[in-house]
Amino acid sequence: MANIKPRDIASEEQFDPLVKMVEAGMGFVPNSMGTMAHMNQLPFVFSALFATIMGADAKVFLRGLLDALPDQENQEDNLDPELLQLIAYCVSLSSGCLYCQAHTSHSAHRIESTRFEERFSNVLNSEEADCYSQAEKSAIQLALAAGRTPNEVSDDHFAAFRKYFTERQQAQILGVISIFGFLNRWNDTNGTALEEKPLVFAEEMLSSSGWSLGKHGF
């Protein structure tokens, strides 16, 4: 059973163009798109990314997509950018992607520098740490478990998680976890060279926690 109940996109007019396109290509609509649809623009934009990777002309695809894309719903539910970067860091930490650990921590520090060291050095001890709210702790634990191989997310993770976040916010956090699944594999597989600014930052701020450049040098 899905941890986040899918939205019934077949019954909502705003998703009609997406449903028709996906049914034409696959013969059915994946339930995963119903889960993404809690952020109502996400399944449209994901379809564009997937189609581009599979060889579609993005310029043509996006031209049609813009006419079909619905207005964003529930913008007030968007989560704090620092928390989203913290979640991305946790996924990258569990997966072992040093490149993305440097990027996400550097981005978070640019957003909120005053509590950075405390919040980023305690993620592996988040249940006992005082620098996180209970909601943040549930998101951190979920992200750490999701980043491991095999995936270690359990019913207990989601039982705690649901107490604090709307379905849209749950989908946003799952989206961050998932896009960094893509980026972790991309950069770790490729051995992407780490840029100067995040390198200098990570060497100063993360090395004490065991971070190293690894395969990501020039």
pLDDT per residue rounded down to tens, the chain (218 residues): 899 999 999 999 999 999 999 999 999 999 999 999 999 999 999 999 999 999 999 999 999 888 899 999 999 999 999 999 999 999 999 999 999 999 999 999 999 888 898 999 999 999 999 999 999 999 999 999 999 999 999 999 999 999 999 999 999 999 999 999 999 999 999 999 999 999 999 999 999 889 999 999 98
In 10 A of CB 156, how many CB atoms?
10
* pLDDT score, position 37: 98
Q: Is 210 exposed, middle or buried (0-12, 13-18, 19+ CB in 10 A)?
A: exposed
Separation between Cα atoms, residue 7 and residue 80, nearest integer Å: 24
**What does the pLDDT read at residue 114?**
87
The pLDDT value recorded for residue 64 is 87
Contact 213, 194 (CB under 8 A): yes
Alpha-carbon distance of 62 to 68, in angstroms, equals 10
Q: Taking the mean position of all CA atoms in its chain, how far away is CA 218?
A: 27
Q: What is the pLDDT of residue 145?
A: 98
Domain residue extents for the chain:
9-73, 77-209
Q: Are 216 and 186 in contact (CB under 8 A)?
A: no
pTM: 0.95
Q: Which of 91, 97, 101, 193 is nearest to 142 (CA)?
A: 91
Share the mean pLDDT of the chain. Answer: 95
Name residue, tokens 């189609």: 51
Report pLDDT for 141. Answer: 97
The residues near 80 (Cβ < 8 Å, ≥ 6 apart) are none
Tokens for 71, please give them.
């207005």
Find, among 80, 99, 58, 102, the residue nearest to 198 by Cα: 102
CATH architecture of residue range(s) 77-209:
Up-down Bundle (1.20)
CA angle 132, 117, 136 (to 5 degrees): 20
Q: How many helices (H) and strands (E) does the chain have?
A: 11, 0
